[in-house]
Amino acid sequence: MSVCRRCGREIEWAQGENGRFVPLDLEPVFVIEGGGNDQFYTDENAVIVGRVARPEEESPELPVAFVPHWKTCGRG
């Protein structure tokens, strides 16, 4: 585990499909695949595209993935 140099939050690192490392938020989110253009990373470092599910949409049937930290960094 690492700490973001900009905002001080804890982050994890995943290796993307292109071989580059991507900082990720620690908390997973439910993802609506195809519902948007944001990229998320699964536990297996696979990329899925969609949007974060709203609370009323959350369901165990949805994929769970991690948000790239640059989307949520308070000092980005």
pLDDT band for position 76 (50/70/90)?
low
Helices (H) and strands (E) in the chain — how many of each?
0, 6
Look at residue 64 and tell me if it is in a domain: yes
What total number of domains does the chain contain? 1
The pLDDT tens digits for 11-49 are 999 988 788 999 999 999 999 999 899 999 999 889 999
Q: Is this prediction's pTM over 0.75?
A: yes
Answer positive or negative: Cα dihedral of 41, 1, 23, 25. Answer: positive
Beta strands 47-52 and 21-25, pairing class: unpaired
Look at residue 76 and tell me if it is in a domain: no
Q: What's residue 35's pLDDT?
A: 86
The pLDDT tens digits for 43-70 are 988 999 999 999 999 999 999 999 999 9
Q: Which residues form the domain of 8?
A: 2-71
Beta carbons of 11 and 26 less than 8 angstroms apart: yes
